[in-house]
Structure 1
Amino acid sequence: AGSPAPASPRPGLPDDPDLLLMQAGVQMRKVRSKNWKKLRYFRLQDDGMTVWHSRQIGWRAKPSSAVSISDVETVREGHESELLRSLADEFPLEQGFTVVFHGRRSNLDLVANSAEEAQIWMRGLQVLVDVVTSMDRQERLDQPGWLSDWFQRGDKNQDGRMTFREVQRLLHLMNVEMDQEYAFQLFQAADKSQSGTLEGEEFVEFYKALTKRAEVEELFENFSADGQKLTLLEFVDFLREEQKEGDRAPDLALELIDRHEPSDSGKRRHVLSMDGFLSYLCSKDGDIFNPACRPIYQDMTQPLSHYYINSSHNTYLVGDQLCGQSSLEGYIRALKRGCRCVEVDVWDGPNGEPIVYHGHTLTSRILFQDVVATVAQYAFQTSDYPVILSLENHCSLEQQEVMAHHLTEILGEQLLSTTLDGLLPIELPSPEELRRKILLKGKKSRTLEEDLEEEEEEPEQELELEAQSELEPEPQELSPRSKDKKEKKSKPMLCPSLSALVVYLKNVPFRNFTHSREHYRFYEISSFSENKAKSLVKEAGNEFVRHNTWQLSRVYPSGLRTDSSNYNPQELWNAGCQMGPSVAMNVQTAGLEMDICDGLFRQNGGCGYVLKPDFLCDTQSSFHPERPTSPFKAQTLLIQVISGQQLPKLDNTKEGSIVDPLVKVEIIGVRPDTTRQETSYVENNGFNPYWGQTLCFRVLVPELALVRFVVEDYDWKSRNDLIGQYTLPWTCMQQGYRHIHLLSRDGTSLHPASIFVHICIQE
C-alpha cells in the first residue's frame, strides 16, 4: 500500500504487462526447507535486470538481497520442485515456482499468494531471461538498466538525483578509491545542467569518464594513423600481428566491423572507431576462449574409451555425504551442466520400492523410480550424447526386479538393452553411435558373448546360482559408518532381468594390468579408489595409459571425504582415465577441482565428451604421465596481465572496504608442468586496477595442460579471498589481446568483471 505506480519498462525491454506488475512489487514466501518459509517482499527494479527482495514491505523497502536476471537460467513450475511438492498440503503447487541459476548456485523456491500471481512472475522472469540470453556481453554492459542499478544503489535518498557526496559513496560501492579532486572534476564535467547533482544522461556521462580505458586507447592509437579510427587495412594489420589470425584476417576484419562498429557510416566505410574496437575486445570475439572450440568440433566417432567423460559422483547429494540431503535436483543440475555419467546408489526401500541414498549414513532417501524419471526428462536437454547410469546395486532380488521394471518402462527406447546391431562388437561404440541412448553400468551375470549366443533363455534359478557364484561386489568407497562384517563378506544375488540391461559397461574387479589384458574384454570396466589410482599412475603409469586406450576406468574418491570435497582430477586425466576423475566430481562442491573439471568440459559444445590426445588413444603408447619425454613439442607461454575491470568486493556489507587485487596464473598438467606465478597487488582499486606485468611458463605437454586465472585480494587476513576465476584448456586459448570474463566460486558469471591480458605462445 502507498506504492507509486510503476514506471514504464526501460528502453530495450518488451512492453509486457507482467513486467509492470512485477515492478509494483509483491509479497511471496521464500522457501528453503519444510521448516524455513519466510515472507519476503519482491520487486523488479526499473532497470529490468534486477529483482530485489527485502524483509520490509513497500516501495521504499531497503533490499536485503538481489537477484540479477543474467544469473538466472530458467524458471520452473511448482510441481517440478521436490521441496514445493513436499509442501503440497500446505501450499497449492500452482502457487509455487522455482528460479534456477547458472552454475552451482542453489535454486530459489517461491510461493506466491495465488496461481495467477505465480504465473505473472514465471512469465515475466522468463521474458527477461530470454532478453538477456539474446544480448551480447558488451550489449549488456551498454544497457542503461545496468547503469540504472548502480544509480539506484548510489542514490541513497532515492530522489532520482545524485549529489557529489552520494557519488563518493557510490565509488566505494563500485570498489574504487579515487582522488577526491579528480572525482569532483569528473562530476562537474558531467553536470551539464550545473544543478550540483547528476541525473539520467549526466550520470551516464560520468560513468563513461570513470570507465575510460587508457590501456585500450593506447593500443588503438598504436595502429591508427589519425587516432580516430582504424581503417580496414589498419585493423587487418592488428588482427594479423597481435591476434595471430593469419590469412583469415581480411575476411574476419570485415565481419568484426559489421558486428561491432556502432555507427552506420563507419560500417559503410569499413572503419572501426574506438567504441567499436572496445566492443570487439570485450565481446566473445575478443574472449580468451577460442570460438572455434565452443561448438562440437572434435571427432565423435571414436570408441568411448578415447574420451574424457563429464560425470558426477554421489549425484543424488546436494550436501555432504554423512547427513546431507538426497535430492532429484542433484540429477537435474548434473545433467543440465553436461554430466554424462551419474551415480545411482540403490537400496531396498519400504513398500517394495527401491530407494536412492548414501548407504549407512544419515542422508535422506529418494525413490529410485523418481530418479529414473528425472534422468529420462533431463538426459538430453544439454547434450545428445549418451548418458551412463552408474548403478551401485545393494537391493534384494525382489527389488532388483522392480528396478529392472522401472528402467525399461520409464526409459523405453532411450535405454540401450542390447548391442547396437545385435552382433558382437570388437570395440566400444562411439558417442556418435550412441546418441540419445542411456547405458547402464553395473554388475552382469554373464558375458556379452553368452548373451548374444544363447538362443534359449536359461532357467531363472540357474542364472541366479551363476550370479551368486561368479559375481564379486564392485569396490565401494569406505563409509564413515563401517559396514557389518557379515554384509561385507556376502555376495549379492543378481536378478537376470537387471543383468540383461548391462551391455557395454560390465563391472569387474581390478587385480593388475596383466590380468585385465589377459582375462577381461573391452566392454568390462574396473573401478579404482582415489589412492589406488594415484599409486598406479606413479608405479605403472605407462601400463595405466595403455589400459585406458581400450577399456574404461572409473575412479571413486576417498570415503574420508565426508564433506563431499573433490580431488584434483588432472593427475588421473594424465593417465587417460575417462570416467574416473570426472565421475568422482561431487558437482555440489565448489573449488579448484570443480573449476578444473568445468574448464576441461567447457569445450566441444559442452557435450560432456572430450577427445583425449592421440598419445592417450594409442594402444602402443610410450607415454608415462609422471615422466613425459619426446616427441612432445614444448611451448612457452607469455602472459602479460594488463588490467582489470569492475572487480567485485568480497564483502558487500562493508561499504568502506576496497580490495587490493592481484592475479595468479596456474598451469595444471603433467607434474613437471604444474606451476603458478602471480602479479604484485594493486592497492585499493578493484574498479580499474593496472598491473602491466608479464608471466612466463615453459610447458612440456601442452595437450594436457589447463590454464587457470585467479583474481584474489591481497589481504591475507581474509578467509575468502577469491574474487573471481576462469579455467580453460591450453589448446582452446586464443593468442593476442584478450579479455577474460571472470566467474564466481559457484561458476556463475561475474559480469562485467574481467581482466585484460596479452597472450603469446612460442614453440
Structure 2
Amino acid sequence: MTTYRVCCCFKRRFRSATGTPEAVKEVFEKYSQHGVMGPEELQRFMVEVQGEHKTTRQEAQAIVDAHRELKHLSAALHHHHKGLTLDGFFHHLFSENNSPISPVVHQDMKAPLSHYFVYTGHNSYLTGNQISSVCSDVPIVKALRRGVRVIELDMWPNSTKDDIDILHGGTLTTPVELIKCLRSIKEHAFTASPYPVIITLEDHITPDLQAKVAKMITETFGELLFVSKSEYLEEFPSPEELKMKIIISTKPPKEYLGKKSFKDKDQVSPKAAEDEAWGAEVEDLQVDQNELQIENEKELDEVHGDDDQKTQPYVAPEYKHLIAIKAIKRSSSLKDSLMVDPNKVTRLSLGEQKFEKAVACHAAELVRFTQRNILRVYPKATRVTSSNYNPLLGWSHGAQMVAMNMQGYGRSLWLMQGMFRANGGCGYVKKPDILMKNVFNPKAVLPVKKTLKVRVYMGDGWRYDFGQTHFDTYSPPDFYARIGIAGVQADAVMKKTKAIEDNWTPVWDEEFVFPLTVPELALLRIEVHEYDMSEKDDFGGQTCLPVWELRPGIRAVSLCDRKGDKLSSVKLLMRFEFI
C-alpha cells in the first residue's frame, strides 16, 4: 500500500486556482462533481491519468484529509469536507508527493555488481581545480551525501615518508591525511544509501606504508570491510549481498614490481590547461576532437588510474589481502585487455581518450567485457579546470564506473545526477537488458521503441529562490523552458518553449513529442532560462530525469541550481505520456 504524506511547505508559495492552466481546470472538471473532487473521483484520476493503478479509496481519502489541514486551504475546504476544490487539487498536483520519479529502490539488487551503473567520483578529495586546489575530506562527505558510491583516493608518502597523504601527485594541491578521509568515509558512507561504497586507491607508496594503510583500513572500517576469501572473484557479489559494506579496489601490488619509478597519472603543467571556464560544456555534449593535446598524453593515459610503483623487494601481504575488486594492468593491445576470463572478474580503467579509441575500434568487445567485468572511465589529464565529458558514451557501452569531476558543474554533471536519480537515488542503477543479453551497438539505426509526450504547463517559485532584481532590474522576468533528450545519438535533441514576458509565474502550455529508439538509456533534460536581449540569458534552474523511471500523468518537477542542489521553491507543472 502506498503511503501518501502531504508537505505543508507550500503555504503562501503557489498561486491560487485563478491562475491554474486551462488544461488542468479541464481535468478537474472531468473528475469532479459540483466543484468538488471526492475520494472516489480522486482515486479514478490517480488511476486513469496518473497511472497509479494500485491507488485505493483509503489512500485518496488520506490525500483529501491531509489537504484539509493546510491552513491556506482550510477556509475553502471547511465547506467541502468530502473532497478537494480546484484550489486543493492544484496544490496537490504541485506538492512534493507528486514527483515524476519514485523515491524508493525498486530494481532487482541481487545481480552481480557488473550488472549496474555505479555513481562514481574522480579525484574525490579535490575541492577545486586539478592543479592547485586544496585536498580535503569535505568533498568526499558531500559526494557520499549525494549518493556517490565510488570514492577515489590517491595515496602518496607524506613529507617525512612515515605516513600517507592524499593528494594529486606532481601538482600544487595541498594534501590531506589518509586517516582523515577514511574516518569521514566511515561516518558518511551509508547516509544516503545502504548499498556498498567502493574505494578506488591509486597507490604510490612503499610496502612498509602499504602495511600501514592495511592497518588503518582494517582498524577504521572493521566489520564494514568486505574481504574476499579467494585471490580473484569468479563473479562479483550483488549490491544486496554487499549492503553496508566498504570495498577496496586497486591493482594488486605484484603488478607494480619491476616498474621504473613513481609516475603521476595527471602530471601536467598549468600551461597545458584547456582554455575553458569552470564546468564549461559544449552545448550539444559532443566530444570536441580538437581539444588540447599534450606531448606525453599517451604516457599519461597508459598509467592514469593504475599508477606505477617503485621497484620493491617485497609486498605487504596484509594490504594485498584487502583488495576485493582487483584492477588489471592494461596490455599494449586494447583488444587483449578486453578479453573475458571465464574464471575470474576484474576491473579495467581507461582514460577518456583511450576509451573513445576503444569505442571506435572495439565497441563489441567493450560491451562483452562489461557484461562480467567492471570498466572504469576517467577524465583526461588536460581537464585541469575539473570539467567533464559526456557520460552517455560510457554508459551506452556498458561502462559501470563513469568517473566524473564533481568539483564544478555543467551539463555533463547534470546528466550524471539525472542518471542516479533512478532506483530511489541509491547510487546503483541496473543496466538495461540490451547491454547484458546481446552485443549492443549504440550507433545502429533502430526502430522507434517508445514515444514520450511532454507537456510543459507552467512554472512557479522563482520569486522565493531569487531576488526581485536577479533577472531584470526594472521588470519581471521573461522565462522560457528548454526540453530535450540526452541518449544515443539518434534520440538526442533539444527544443524550447516561447518566452513568456514579464511574468514570475509563466504559463507556457506547450507540448513536445520525442520518438525514442533506446528509451532505456534516455535522459530527459529540462532547463529554464530568462531571455535577455542584450546579454547572455540568465539561468533559472535545471533538472535531468531518467526517462525509463518517469511516472505518467501531471507531475510537479522540482528544479535544481547549477551544482545540482534542489532549489527550495522552483517547480514546473508538467504532464508525461508514453504513446
Shorter-chain TM range is 0.7 to 0.9
3-state SS, counterpart of residue 707 of structure 1: strand
Matched, 1:480 2:299: no
Equivalent position of 2:506 in the other structure? 689
3-state SS, counterpart of residue 753 of structure 1: strand
Structure 1 letter corresponding to 2:249: K
Picking from 281, 287, 293, the partner of 2:99 is 287
Distance 1:544 1:653, change over 3 A: closer
Cα RMSD (Å):
3.3
Matched, 1:399 2:209: yes
Deviations 1:92-117 (A, max 9, x none): xxxxxxxxxxxxxxxxxxxxxxxxxx
Distance 1:342 1:718, change over 3 A: farther
Q: Quick one: distance in 2 between partners of 1:278 and 1:240? A: 17
Matched, 1:543 2:399: no
Residues 98 and 556 of structure 2 are in contact (CA less than 8 Å); yes or no, is this contact kept in structure 1? yes
Picking from 561, 573, 577, the partner of 1:744 is 561
Give, in angstroms, the shift of residue 479 of structure 1.
2.9
Q: Quick one: distance in 1 between partners of 2:354 and 2:110? A: 31
Deviations 1:35-72 (A, max 9, x none): xxxxxxxxxxxxxxxxxxxxxxxxxxxxxxxxxxxxxx
Residues 724 and 742 of structure 1 are in contact (CA less than 8 Å); yes or no, is this contact kept in structure 2? yes
Distance 1:541 1:662, change over 3 A: same
Equivalent position of 1:34 in the other structure? none
Residues 227 and 321 of structure 2 are in contact (CA less than 8 Å); yes or no, is this contact kept in structure 1? yes
- What is the TM-score of this pair, normalised by structure 2? 0.83
Alignment of 1:729-740 (within 5 A): 729-740=546-557
Alignment of 1:507-526 (within 5 A): 507-510=328-331, 511-517=333-339, 522-526=344-348
Distance 1:586 1:229, change over 3 A: same
Structure 1 letter corresponding to 2:356: K
- What is the TM-score of this pair, normalised by structure 1? 0.64
Equivalent position of 1:142 in the other structure? 11
Equivalent position of 1:578 in the other structure? 400
Residues 479 and 501 of structure 2 are in contact (CA less than 8 Å); yes or no, is this contact kept in structure 1? yes
Residues 122 and 151 of structure 2 are in contact (CA less than 8 Å); yes or no, is this contact kept in structure 1? yes
Deviations 1:193-226 (A, max 9, x none): xxxxxxxxxxxxxx96697435376235532565
Structure 1 residues without counterparts, runs of 5 or longer: 1-134, 147-206, 447-465
3-state SS, counterpart of residue 229 of structure 1: coil
Structure 1 letter corresponding to 2:353: N
3-state SS, counterpart of residue 574 of structure 2: strand
Q: Which moved more, 1:318-327 or 1:495-504?
A: 495-504
Structure 1 letter corresponding to 2:177: L
Equivalent position of 1:441 in the other structure? 249
Structure 1 letter corresponding to 2:393: E
Q: Quick one: distance in 2 between partners of 1:434 and 1:238? A: 41
Equivalent position of 2:432 in the other structure? 613
Matched, 1:569 2:391: yes
Give, in angstroms, the shift of residue 697 of structure 1.
1.0
Q: Quick one: distance in 2 between partners of 1:343 and 1:225? A: 55
Equivalent position of 2:279 in the other structure? none
Alignment of 1:415-454 (within 5 A): 415-419=225-229, 425-445=233-253
3-state SS, counterpart of residue 571 of structure 1: helix
Picking from 370, 380, 397, the partner of 1:558 is 380
Q: Quick one: distance in 2 between partners of 1:424 and 1:392? A: 19
Residues 340 and 369 of structure 2 are in contact (CA less than 8 Å); yes or no, is this contact kept in structure 1? no
Give, in angstroms, the shift of residue 675 of structure 1.
0.9
Deviations 1:648-696 (A, max 9, x none): 55863964243211111120111111111111111122x1112121111
Give, in angstroms, the shift of residue 522 of structure 1.
3.7
Give, in angstroms, the shift of residue 506 of structure 1.
3.0
Distance 1:301 1:423, change over 3 A: farther
Deviations 1:98-151 (A, max 9, x none): xxxxxxxxxxxxxxxxxxxxxxxxxxxxxxxxxxxxx977511216xx7xxxxx
Deviations 1:231-287 (A, max 9, x none): 344334433443233464756533433343456987996422223212210123322
Equivalent position of 2:222 in the other structure? 412
Equivalent position of 1:274 in the other structure? 86
Distance 1:404 1:699, change over 3 A: same
Picking from 485, 488, 493, the partner of 1:675 is 493
Greater helix content: 1
Residues 77 and 85 of structure 2 are in contact (CA less than 8 Å); yes or no, is this contact kept in structure 1? no
From the CA coordinates, give the structure whose radius of gyration is larger: 1
Give, in angstroms, the shift of residue 483 of structure 1.
8.9
Give, in angstroms, the shift of residue 540 of structure 1.
2.7
Bigger relative contact order, structure 1 or 2 (CA pairs below 8 A, ≥6 apart): 2
Residues 5 and 66 of structure 2 are in contact (CA less than 8 Å); yes or no, is this contact kept in structure 1? no
Matched, 1:643 2:458: yes
Picking from 162, 177, 180, the partner of 1:370 is 180
Equivalent position of 1:468 in the other structure? 257
Give, in angstroms, the shift of residue 715 of structure 1.
1.5
Give, in angstroms, the shift of residue 515 of structure 1.
4.7
Give, in angstroms, the shift of residue 472 of structure 1.
11
Equivalent position of 1:84 in the other structure? none
Structure 2 residues without counterparts, runs of 5 or longer: 271-294
Q: Which moved more, 1:261-270 or 1:701-710?
A: 261-270
Alignment of 1:109-148 (within 5 A): 138-142=7-11
Equivalent position of 2:121 in the other structure? 312
Structure 1 letter corresponding to 2:413: M
Equivalent position of 2:274 in the other structure? none
Residues 497 and 508 of structure 2 are in contact (CA less than 8 Å); yes or no, is this contact kept in structure 1? yes
